[in-house]
């Protein structure tokens, strides 16, 4: 385990759990031991101990924990991480493999990981009988693991080099993740970066696969979905918490994205977007 893990070039992992997990102040010093592989992207600073190895974490970093290995988090403050728990595909004799490190320091460059893990989580929320969605999620995870391994084969200087525009875009996406409940505009996100509004918008879509406005809306409605199925808050209260204070506008946007009203969605919490 010290040098990383061998992984098959071809194959499809089986995902058992995927989602965005909050770390409250009550659980930032916990130990975990999972029966599966666990891929995490961390959105906080701190330290993670995997077995006998210790890694300093910054927001955006990725780690891979092997099955039945104790991991321990040491965080200074609450935060959240994206996680995927999965079983590996079989590795036939003579099959090609690649090496995955336990820690990938992607701070400032991890926007593609966040977006891909979000997509995998959305697909994994499909019902058990939706084999097509589950297969698609497994394929996306394998592609992500390949890309992470490829990133690590680049020269160190090339891995750390990032254009100013890329850093601005990653910072903007991080702001959308953490401040979605605030009134944000393209001017706010691009302000002070030296990038024009049109250039910023075009590059954001190219980097993350959707416009900044669409990203913000989906982030707000993702939070609304969580509150809607896990709390007794009213529509008006949820709309306010998620940055859409007009209940009528909230209802309209929720129905457009989810395909049904908030009331109907609460009655069917297993449905995905």
Q: How far apart are CA 248 and CA 33, in angstroms?
A: 45
pLDDT digits (tens, 9 = 90+) for 223-235: 888 787 777 788 8
- Shared domain for 88 and 184, answered yes or no, is no
- Shared domain for 142 and 184, answered yes or no, is no
- Shared domain for 134 and 18, answered yes or no, is yes
- Shared domain for 123 and 176, answered yes or no, is no
DSSP 3-state assignment of 42?
A: strand
- Shared domain for 126 and 139, answered yes or no, is yes
Report the CATH number at residue 116: 2.60.120.280
**Residue 88 CB coordination number (10 Å):** 19
**pTM of the complete model:** 0.60
Considering the chain, what is the average pLDDT of its residues? 81
- Shared domain for 194 and 101, answered yes or no, is no
- Shared domain for 247 and 189, answered yes or no, is yes
> Which of 199, 207, 202, 141 has the alpha carbon at shortest distance from 173?
207
Q: How far apart are CA 262 and CA 187, in angstroms?
A: 30
Domain end marker among 132, 159, 186: 159
Domain end marker among 144, 159, 174: 159
| Domain extent for 235 | 163-273
Which of residues 200 and 167 earns the better pLDDT score? 200
Report the CATH number at residue 228: 1.10.10.60
Domain end marker among 127, 159, 191: 159
Contact 12, 51 (CB under 8 A): no
DSSP 3-state assignment of 261?
A: coil
Cα four-point dihedral sign 205, 208, 212, 218: positive
Percent of the chain with pLDDT over 90: 18
- Shared domain for 198 and 113, answered yes or no, is no
Which of residues 103 and 226 earns the better pLDDT score? 103
**pLDDT for residue 179:** 84
- Shared domain for 154 and 169, answered yes or no, is no
- Shared domain for 88 and 144, answered yes or no, is yes
The CA-atom distances, in angstroms, between 264 and each of 229, 251, 267 are 11, 11, 5
Q: How far apart are CA 195 and CA 80, in angstroms?
A: 30
- Shared domain for 107 and 237, answered yes or no, is no
Catalogue the E-assigned strands of 58-141. Answer: 62-65, 71-75, 79-87, 97-100, 103-104
- Shared domain for 181 and 240, answered yes or no, is yes
- Number of domains composing the chain: 2
Which of 98-112, 120-134, 147-161, 176-190 comes out lowest in average pLDDT? 147-161
Q: How far apart are CA 13 and CA 88, in angstroms?
A: 5
pLDDT digits (tens, 9 = 90+) for 122-145: 888 765 557 888 889 999 999 999
**Residue 43 CB coordination number (10 Å):** 22
């Amino acid at each position: 385990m010290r040098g990383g893990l061998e992984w098959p070039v071809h194959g499809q992992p089986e995902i058992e759990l995927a989602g965005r997990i909050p770390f409250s102040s009550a659980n930032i010093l916990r130990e975990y031991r999972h029966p599966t592989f666990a891929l995490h992207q961390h959105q906080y600073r701190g330290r993670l101990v995997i077995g006998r190895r210790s890694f300093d974490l910054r927001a955006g970093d990725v780690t891979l924990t092997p099955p039945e290995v104790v991991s321990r988090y040491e965080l200074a403050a609450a935060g959240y991480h994206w996680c995927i728990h999965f079983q590996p595909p079989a590795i036939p004799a003579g099959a090609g493999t690649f090496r995955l490190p336990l820690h990938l320091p992607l701070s400032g460059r991890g926007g593609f990981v966040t977006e891909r893990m979000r997509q995998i989580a959305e697909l994994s929320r499909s019902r058990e009988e939706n084999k097509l969605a589950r297969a698609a999620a497994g394929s996306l995870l394998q592609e992500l693991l390949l890309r992470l391994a490829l990133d690590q084969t680049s020269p160190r200087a090339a891995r750390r080099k990032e254009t100013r525009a890329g850093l601005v875009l990653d910072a903007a996406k991080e702001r959308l993740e953490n401040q979605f409940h605030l009134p944000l505009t393209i001017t706010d996100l691009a302000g002070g970066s030296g990038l024009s509004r049109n250039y910023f918008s075009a590059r954001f879509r190219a980097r993350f696969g959707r416009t900044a406005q669409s990203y913000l809306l989906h982030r707000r409605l993702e939070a609304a979905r969580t509150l809607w199925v896990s709390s007794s808050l009213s529509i008006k209260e949820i709309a306010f918490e998620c940055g859409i204070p007009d209940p009528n506008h909230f209802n309209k946007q929720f129905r457009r994205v989810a395909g049904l009203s908030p009331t109907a969605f609460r009655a069917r919490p297993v449905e995905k977007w």
